[in-house]
């Protein structure tokens, strides 16, 4: 039997540097900001407009903004989906004067738009992580 030398699977380029961590956190906090920090201006603008458009449209339709203290698992999963939109989630929580209007179809669609904004931004954060 020959002894094979152990190889390290990770390299130094795979290590999370502070600049890479900042870009990933920025990509979550403000959609598109991580790509802007990585000098991908066009992609940053598209991400900000798409995620922001979904979040603003969902809020305008008076979709439900979930809190972390949901009563059941579905509300918690809604919170996890919506928190992905970063600053848009916190702004929606801050400026939510009337509450959700899920009795109307528009409110139900608005809830879905808010969740899709967060999920789309999670995908964009993964893209920023791959670029970084």
Which pLDDT value is given to residue 108?
86
Check if the beta carbon of residue 66 is closer than 8 Å to that of residue 75.
yes
Short-list 87, 81, 50, CA closest to 66:
81
Q: What percent of the chain has pLDDT over 70?
A: 83
pLDDT class for 26, splitting at 50, 70, 90? Answer: very high
pTM of the model as a whole = 0.80
Least confident segment among 43-57, 62-76, 111-125: 62-76
The whole-angstrom separation of Cα 7 and Cα 5 is 6
Tens digits of per-residue pLDDT, 45-67? 999 999 999 999 998 888 888 88
Domain definitions of the chain by residue range: 18-131
Kindly give the residue spans of alpha helices, DSSP state H, lying in the chain: 18-29, 33-37, 41-60, 73-83, 87-94, 105-131
């Amino acid at each position: 039997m020959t002894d094979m030398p152990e190889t390290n699977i990770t390299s130094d380029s795979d290590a999370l540097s502070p600049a890479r961590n900042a870009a990933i956190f920025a990509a979550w906090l403000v959609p598109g900001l991580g790509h802007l920090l990585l000098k991908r201006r066009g992609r940053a603008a598209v991400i900000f407009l798409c995620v922001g458009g979904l979040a603003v449209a969902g809020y305008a339709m008076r979709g439900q903004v979930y809190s972390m203290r949901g009563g059941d698992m579905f509300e918690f999963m809604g919170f996890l989906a919506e928190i992905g939109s970063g600053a848009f989630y916190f702004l929606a929580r801050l400026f939510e004067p009337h509450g959700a209007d899920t009795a109307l179809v528009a409110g139900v669609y608005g809830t879905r738009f808010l969740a899709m904004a967060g999920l789309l931004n999670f995908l964009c954060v993964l893209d920023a992580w791959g670029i970084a």
